[in-house]
């Protein structure tokens, strides 16, 4: 991961991302539960940001939370994601964004498994996957 943020115009994001990716990554939408391609995915590798390719989560930290979205108990590196208070929709949550391009990824909750107790609940559409070689 580089030390500088990736800055693109709204027009560039609209051109590079699918409409669903744009809605989630740039406008903080949420895909329907149990609909994402990575929800039941079990291969070994690295989940990366769909918008910029930054490495975000390792497959060995993924688990079935029953929430309907891919869930991880920790980010690949603390510097890979940023956390932000989200009080939208009448709820108090902690939003997870890609540290490299500021794309919305999902939310994190303190109800995950050991060793961290955290549940990073991430939209599949915000992720790509690089298999282990």
The helix (run of H) or strand (run of E) holding residue 84 is: strand 81-86
Cβ atoms of 49 and 100 within 8 Å: the answer is yes
Tokens of 108: 């994190």
For residue 62, which of 84, 47, 83 has the smallest C-alpha distance?
A: 47
For residue 81, which of 121, 129, 37, 31 has the smallest C-alpha distance?
A: 121
Residues contacting residue 84 through CB under 8 Å, at least 6 positions apart:
94, 95, 97
Instruction: Give yes or no: 121 in active site.
Output: yes
Report the distance separating Cα 50 and Cα 52, nearest Å: 6
Residues with active-site annotation: 121
């Amino acid at each position: 991961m580089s030390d500088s943020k990736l800055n693109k115009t709204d027009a560039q994001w609209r051109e590079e991302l699918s409409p669903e990716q744009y809605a989630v990554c740039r406008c903080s939408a949420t895909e329907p539960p149990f609909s994402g391609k990575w929800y039941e995915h079990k291969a070994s590798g690295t989940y990366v940001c769909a918008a910029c390719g930054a490495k975000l989560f390792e497959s060995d930290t993924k688990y079935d939370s029953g929430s309907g979205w891919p869930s991880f108990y920790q980010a690949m590196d603390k510097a890979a994601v940023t956390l932000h208070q989200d009080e939208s929709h009448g709820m108090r949550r902690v939003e997870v964004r890609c540290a490299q391009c500021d794309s919305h990824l999902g939310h994190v909750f303190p109800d995950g498994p050991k060793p961290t107790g955290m549940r990073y609940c991430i939209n599949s559409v915000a992720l790509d996957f690089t298999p282990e070689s």
